[in-house]
Amino acid sequence: MADSDQNSSWFDRYKWCEPIAQGGMGVVYLAEDKGNGNARCVIKQLRSDSESPDEMKEGTRLFKREVEMLRSLDHPGIVRFFDYHSSEDGKYFLVMEHIQGNNLETIIQNYGPFSPDDAVKVGIQICEVLEYLHEQNPPIIYRDLKPSNLMLTPDGQIVFIDFGIARVFMPKQSATRVVTAGYSPPEQYFGKPETRSDLYAFGATMAHLLTGVRPRPLLPSIPSQKVEGLLPSLDNLVIQCTSHTPADRPESARLIRHKLYRIYQEIHPDFEIPEEALSNQINNKEEQFISQKILQSGLKAASNASENLPHAKGAESEVFSDENMPTGVMKVFEDLHQRLSSQKVPVYEDESTADDGIESRKPGRPGKEMRATLDRLQRQPGFFEKLLGWFGKR
């Protein structure tokens, strides 16, 4: 069968209903699978800017490898991947499960911040998915954890919906990074993400849930500056997770989950946690029982997931390298050092004055000036000396 016939056959299998989201990495469509009883699904079309046949061939190979990895994942908190397709003209399509509900960004924008009780319940579920991903061999780093990538279903289930597969089609430069301002940790700006990078994004996401305000780029999140009466233990956990240096963050998502159990116990003093459930080094049935018991008490925000709301657009990921580093990114690093030197506690700013992210800034100075800026900052005392010293050891 000719390639054109194969393309036609694949496209004919689906009824393409309507586009439901669009971003710098592609377009997302709501569709129906004619071969599966017209079951609803989501088709993500990814674009490739490559015009080289060799690069397109390599992109197709990497795309297939990535999809096969995603299809092997089996967790209730991860969207299921059903099918994929690539065309000769450099278009790639990924068919995924359609999740009923709303993303957390939409819920926050329409109903305001989450209560600490609901935020803890959401946080426990997020940690369980991160544990599952980080325990794969090799570990899977999610890289883009944020409220707009997390769906809340009407029955209270959190589902990760976007695995950033579009990074397969980035320019083949070793210095290429993918970041989302406010949620990405410093090491991700340097192209060196690790599992604890996801823990930083977790902390930033929790801060957003608790305050209703997007976190500022590259600043530790301190929810208590916006939320009166917040439990110090919950506030301190978010602060620790958003530490600039990975070694200062909690060691694992499992450890964070244990801390969230204790925080839930502070909110609900009658809730009992068997000590043996948290003493083992590996996941166990007692821990699973604790999570189930907590979640069975209900997520009040889940009722908002049943509302048919237009999906809010969250902070977008941005791709850049040393050679097209946005001027604003360098300004963030420079301003960050000044802020940390002049004030003991970084201050949250109102959303009306908050930085919208690096996507609004134009590419500026070349990579060599970026390196000169960082070299200059490295010679100054304080955070950057510690941070860049850590990068040099990697």
- Band (381; pLDDT cuts 50, 70, 90): very low
Residues 286 and 367 in one domain: no
Q: What is the pLDDT of residue 189?
A: 85
How are strands ordered across the β-sheet holding 26-33? 14-23, 26-33, 39-47, 91-97, 81-86
Structure token digits, residue 136: 């794969």
Residues 129 and 229 in one domain: yes
Q: Examine residue 312 and state whether it is found in any structural domain, yes or no.
A: no
Are residues 22 and 82 located together in one domain of the fold?
yes
Which residues form the domain of 48?
A: 3-97
CATH number for the domain spanning 22: value is 3.30.200.20
For residues 191 and 224, membership in a common domain is answered with: yes
Q: Which of 53, 82, 97 is the last residue of a domain?
A: 97
Least confident of 174-183, 260-269, 340-349: 340-349
**Is residue 313 assigned to a domain?**
no
**Residues 216, 226: contact at Cβ < 8 Å?**
no
140 and 204 share a domain?
A: yes
Distance between CA 52 and CA 49 in Å, rounded? 9
**82-119 per-position pLDDT tens digit:** 999 988 777 889 999 999 999 999 999 999 999 999 99
- Residues 289 and 330 both lie in one domain: no
- The pLDDT of residue 339 is 52
Same domain, 116 and 259: yes
Residues 6+ away with beta carbon under 8 Å from 104: 122, 147, 148, 150, 151, 152, 205, 208, 209
DSSP string, 281-350: SS--HHHHHHHHHHHHT--TTHHHHTS--PPPP-PPPEEE-GGG-BHHHHHHHHHHHHHHHH-SS-----
- Which of 239-243, 260-264, 274-278 is least confident? 274-278
Residue type, 289: F
User: How many domains are contained in the chain?
Assistant: 3
Least confident window among 109-118, 124-133, 141-150, 269-278: 269-278
In a domain, 284, yes or no: yes
Is residue 38 scored above 80 in pLDDT? yes
Top pLDDT among 295 and 364 is at: 295
65 located within any domain? yes
The sheet that has 158-160: what strands, in order across it?
102-103, 150-152, 158-160
**Domain termination site, one of 70, 97, 124:** 97
Choice between 323 and 236, residue whose per-residue pLDDT is larger: 236
Q: pLDDT (tens digit, 9 = 90+) per residue, 280-326? A: 656 667 787 888 889 888 898 888 887 776 665 556 556 555 555 55
This prediction has a pTM of 0.78
Q: What does the pLDDT read at residue 352?
A: 37
In terms of domains, do 276 and 148 share one? yes
Q: Is residue 311 part of a domain?
A: no
Determine the pLDDT at residue 210: 98
Q: Tokens 């439901």, residue?
A: 20
360 and 325 fall within a common domain? yes
- Cα dihedral: 186, 125, 264, 195 (round 10): -30
293 and 386, same structural domain? no
* Structure tokens that stand for 299 in this block: 């997520």
Same domain for 137 and 21: no
In whole angstroms, what is the distance from residue 198 CA to residue 185 CA?
Answer: 8
Residues marked active site are found at: 144
Q: What is the mean pLDDT of residues 29-48?
A: 89
